[in-house]
Structure 1
Amino acid sequence: MQEAGWGLLDGMNDAGLAVSLTFGGRFVHGPGFAMPLVLRYVLETCQTVDEAVGRLRTLPVAIPQNVTLVDPDRSVTVHVGPDIPMTEAPDSCAANHQHLPVPDEQERTTRTQARLAAVRAAGVDVPAMLRPPLYQRAYDHWLGTVYTAHYRPAEGCVTYHWPGEHWEHTIAEFTPGARTVALGLSEQQRSLTHNRPSPALSTSRPYPAAVS
């Protein structure tokens, strides 16, 4: 999924390496690269999780981020940031915090630890990703879920999911396209907007919100 014209929020290359990005939850800034650009670089230069981890270890990043990497043989999540060395997470999953203590106010606002526990419990159960607490509708607070991506590196396949619909792509038979998905609207609101533009998602321009 492309971000801001140049970078990536997630993606997979033809070697079967898939990556995804999650904000690390700490508002710390330092000299370094924007992580969406780093993800694009990793997919263009690496073929395995081990190669990608080696690259990430050498690259400075500007803000705390969590990166999950998967290939047909291995998966890992690493925490990176301008103020910490790259740290491997205990599980191959992430929410919006890292290996450091989570302030009570952050947990009340984002429920990040509760969501990580839900991710661990869900495993690869896609329907669970489309229900609370993992599927979020707080779009007015920039915390709404944009899409859920189910990557299968061994098959070279990804399926993007929304409640009630999905969109599949494969490396072998990739076809460029676009899809518009209305986010955060009730049925009554949908009927009132008819021909007016509504909040939407394109695969090339994600709405600024949390990603499952």
Structure 2
Amino acid sequence: MKDSYIVRNRENQWKVRKKRFSIDVQEAKREIEVISKPIWQELLGLQQALEWPIEEVLAEFGGYRVPYNKSGCSIATGSNYLIRNYDYHPKTYDGRYMLYQPSDGGLATAAPSQRITGRMDGINEAGLAMGYNFMNRKRPGAGFICCMIGRFILETCASVKEAIQLLKHIPHRHSFSYVVYDRTGETAIIEASPRDVVVRTSIRCTNHFEEQKSENRHHLIDSERRLAVLKENQQQEMIVDEAYKLFNHSDQGIFSDLYESWAGTIHTSVYFPTALQAWFTLGPNQPPTVIDFKSWLQGTSLGIKRIEGEINTKVPFLHMDYPADWFNGEKRT
């Protein structure tokens, strides 16, 4: 990581962004270790390798008390699958898909990373799939951000019930919906804000709360439009191929090209809890890359070195372009 574009771009990004949070090192350590001591050790490893102060490591990778900008995202579940579009800004995208089997505690996972240590969606060896949708960042609390919470879910929870228990007991920085689906077929949408956690049942979710309505943003037109598209298409059960076309094809009303507005679709992912398999696609209108997580857990190499795709934007990507910062102008290299 030390000389990567990710680190270099992040350092530049902070030069023009004001940190709207503070971090107490001992408090962050205590809160993280309650859930996962190995993740705290990972942060110490990043500190050693990058030769940064621990405060800087926690601000960038700790996932505790850090800000979050607006974004989109759509999620649906069907018969033995969870599908989601990850809609956000290219300048924040790690470009790393992680297959991780910890040797010091925790469940093995297959998931794209966010802020290196976090996970934005994924599946674990117990067959629990997860994705999250942004709701609001008003009135933030002292707590964890979405991508670290995503990792906590995947590495420490084997079922929807355990994920609900976790999210009810940890502090939340911002308001997000966490959609979880396990191999028994149980699904739940967990509306989590700094003030409350409410669980509901549905097979679709976009970017507004149904229960905690007071936590929603004022402008919900696009979120409600995408939810209506999902509802219309889910009147009868969609097989996974139909769901994939709905989410990944650019003419179906779910895929977004609003990259400069923090709401462009970067990837489409599908998780199969029973088969322990994942599909992953960068950009629209193409077949998915199949990731056989079950075979990997059994020791078989995936035979995949990188996943490629084409995204129609001039906005630089954090992991492959320099500079990809918040200074004026969009320069590609």
Q: Which range, TM-score by smaller chain?
A: 0.7 to 0.9
SS of 2:295's equivalent in the other structure is: coil
Q: Among residues 140, 149, 153, which one is paired with 1:38 in the alignment?
A: 149
- Give the corresponding residue for 1:164: 286
Map of 1:50-129 to 2, 5 A cutoff?
A: 50-73=161-184, 74-83=186-195, 85-99=196-210, 100=213, 106-108=219-221, 111-123=222-234, 124=238, 125-129=243-247
RMSD: 2.4
Change (3 A) 1:150 1:122: farther
CA contact (8 A) 1:30 1:62 kept: yes
SS of 1:155's equivalent in the other structure is: coil
Query: Could you tell me how far 1:121 is from its partner in structure 2?
Result: 3.1
Once residues 189 and 269 of structure 2 are traced to their aligned partners in structure 1, the CA distance between those partners, rounded to angstroms, is: 16
SS of 1:117's equivalent in the other structure is: helix
- Give the corresponding residue for 1:141: 261
Moved more, 10-19 or 27-36: 27-36
- Give the corresponding residue for 2:18: none
Query: Could you tell me how far 1:183 is from its partner in structure 2?
Result: 1.3
CA contact (8 A) 1:17 1:69 kept: yes
SS of 2:147's equivalent in the other structure is: helix
CA contact (8 A) 1:16 1:47 kept: yes
Query: Structure 1, unaligned stretches of length 5 or more?
Result: 190-197, 208-212
CA contact (8 A) 1:24 1:79 kept: no
Once residues 165 and 5 of structure 1 are traced to their aligned partners in structure 2, the CA distance between those partners, rounded to angstroms, is: 26
Change (3 A) 1:122 1:160: farther
Identity among equivalent positions (%) equals: 21
- Give the corresponding residue for 1:210: none
Counting helix residues as a fraction of each chain, which structure ranks higher? 2
Aligned residue pairs total 188
Q: Amino acid of the residue matched to residue 165 of structure 1?
A: P
CA contact (8 A) 1:180 1:201 kept: no
SS of 1:65's equivalent in the other structure is: strand
Query: Structure 2, unaligned stretches of length 5 or more?
Result: 1-111, 297-301, 325-333
Larger Rg: 2
Q: Amino acid of the residue matched to residue 9 of structure 1?
A: M
Once residues 67 and 19 of structure 1 are traced to their aligned partners in structure 2, the CA distance between those partners, rounded to angstroms, is: 7
Once residues 136 and 55 of structure 1 are traced to their aligned partners in structure 2, the CA distance between those partners, rounded to angstroms, is: 32
Q: Amino acid of the residue matched to residue 138 of structure 1?
A: L
Query: 1:180 and 2:300 equivalent?
Result: no
TM-score, normalised relative to structure 2 = 0.52
Change (3 A) 1:177 1:53: farther
Q: Amino acid of the residue matched to residue 220 of structure 2?
A: E
Q: Among residues 272, 296, 301, which one is paired with 1:152 in the alignment?
A: 272
Once residues 163 and 200 of structure 1 are traced to their aligned partners in structure 2, the CA distance between those partners, rounded to angstroms, is: 20
Once residues 38 and 96 of structure 1 are traced to their aligned partners in structure 2, the CA distance between those partners, rounded to angstroms, is: 17
Query: Could you tell me how far 1:201 is from its partner in structure 2?
Result: 9.0
